[in-house]
Amino acid sequence: MNPTPPLNGIKVLDFTHVLAGPFCTRLLADFGADVVRVESTRHPDYPWPSSYIHADGRHASYLNTNRSKRSVAIDLKHEAGRAIALRLATAADLVVENFSAGVMSRLGLGYETLKALNPRLIYVGMSGYGNTGPRRDWTSMNMNLQGYGGLMLTTGAEKDPPIAISNSWNDYIGGLHACFGIIEALAQRETTGSGAHLDLSQFECSVSLIAPLVLSSAVNKSSPKRLGNRSARYAPQGVYRCDGRDEWCAISIQNDEQWRALTAAMGNPELGSEARFANVCERMRHHDEIDRRIEAWTSQLPNTEVEKRLRSAGIPAERMRRIQDIVDAPDRSKAFARAEEPRVGSMLTTTLPLSLSFSPSAPFRPAPKLGEHTQEVLKDWLGIPDSELVELNERGALV
């Protein structure tokens, strides 16, 4: 038996836009699914506005997020276009969309309609708040979910303002949860023979990641303290300023032996034998003072030197890497790889950061031009003859 990617042969009709949905369907494509994006010249889509835009209108963000997919251009507001979309949905295993609540129904492509045509269909909605509940019509962006989902007020220390992360964290978290739910639904379909409607809420995905603290608040009737860079188990722990502009090193002392090694590395071995720093409880009590002493030492040295000295002494320490440090590093991570992209020769792209010993992942393919695969997919999936394609084109259904 020749090993194939796990989702080989699974047909995905992808109505998603921006990032969470397209990220999810890229994961499915890497697992070998045949992902067909339904696109339109009327609403050119990109996951985020990039600083590089190719002559064909594709943003760098699109090239990375929508690689390994095919594109069909259909006018969903055109009657014949909508009819084609319905036929594609009838042939599909999966429909994924992340419109606001109700949009797919207004296009005549709601779950009930498609289910009647294709009872084995798995239909996935990934709107901001889900298609039910009092917030179903709220629109949301990543930053909204960072604030509303609790990330901003669980990050940082007590009295800090809300703290965000400068990336679309929640889109990735929502997309990953959706991908998991989809593969599970495909497996369950093997047993039950019927499809499913997954009405995912990206808000709930975000809240899930801080749910232990929500649970604690529900029982204790107060939010737990914000710890910043400190730990409830180890001390000292922190991100310390080093020599240079905005240079930092993270240090986490996980036992008494490491504490003594740290004080020796700092040239203050006498601190290591002081009773008031002798164990983790004492060090937590005097954390502010310890931080000042550590920083008096680190601020004299480049962070590479702090990291080197501490690690050779067996202490967990890592300098703060910037994006360029990760991307330009000679031993670059397995998270990124080069992929062929004819628009620019080749590009660095995100990989699936996991490996299966038997099932390969699918090879990278360049992101599609808008409508590049319309004819090909209509033939592959539906067996539509050339003559009908010409006619559809003339009627303006394919745009």
Partner 1 sequence: MARIIDFGSLAVAYATRLLAESGHDVIRIDLSGGDALRRMGPFLGDNPHLEHGAYHQFLNAGKRSLSLNVESPAGRRIFTELLQKSDALVASRPLPLAEEELRNIRPQLVFTKVEEEEAELCAYARSGLLSLTGQPDGQPTVLGSHMIYLATGIYVAVGTSAALYVLNQTGQGQTVCVSMKDCLETFIEQAMVEYAFSGTKTERRGSRGTITAISGALPCKDGHWVISQINRPGRWEKFMDWVQDPELMADPSLALDENQNKKKDFIMDRIFVWARKFTKTDLVEEAQRRHFPASPVSSPLDLVEDPQLIARGFLKEMNHPKFGRILFPQGAIASVRGNSLSPAPTLGQHNREILAELGYSEPDHRTLTEIGAI
The CA angle 100-101-105, to the nearest 5 degrees, is 110
Question: With respect to partner 1, which residue has the nearer C-beta, 116 or 356?
Answer: 356
Classify residue 3 by burial, with Cβ atoms within 10 Å: 0-12, 13-18, 19+. Answer: exposed
Smallest gap, in angstroms, from Cβ of residue 222 to partner 1?
6
> Which residue type does 381 have?
W
Q: Regarding beta strands 345-350 and 11-14, do their DSSP bridges make them parallel or antiparallel, or are they unpaired? A: unpaired
- Tell me the C-alpha distance between 130 and 396, whole Å: 33
Q: Would you say 208 or 273 has its CB closer to partner 1?
A: 208
Q: Provide CB contacts within 8 A for 9, sequence distance 6+.
A: 32, 34
DSSP-based three-state secondary structure for 251: strand
Cα torsion 127, 130, 135, 141: sign: negative
Residue 238, helix vs strand vs coil? strand
Q: Which is nearer to partner 1, 326 or 390 (CB)?
A: 326
Q: Which is nearer to partner 1, 194 or 333 (CB)?
A: 333
Minimum Å distance from CB 87 to partner 1?
27
Of 211 and 390, the one with the shorter C-beta distance to partner 1 is 211
Cα angle vertex 377, ends 178, 101, to 5°? Answer: 35
User: Measured from the CB of residue 375, what is the shortest distance to partner 1 in angstroms?
Assistant: 30
| Of 396, 358, 398, residue with least CA distance to 378 | 398
- Residue 388 C-beta: closest distance to partner 1, Å: 34
Helix orientation angle between 374-382 and 79-91, rounded to the nearest 10 degrees: 50
**Based on CB atoms, which residue is closest to partner 1, 263 or 349?**
349
Token pair, residue 150, equals: 């609790």
Measured from the CB atom, is 76 or 178 closer to partner 1? 178
CB of 161 to partner 1, least distance (A): 6
Q: How far is the CB of 385 from partner 1 (least distance, A)?
A: 33
CB of 387 to partner 1, least distance (A): 38
To the nearest 10°, the Cα dihedral for 230, 173, 199, 64?
170
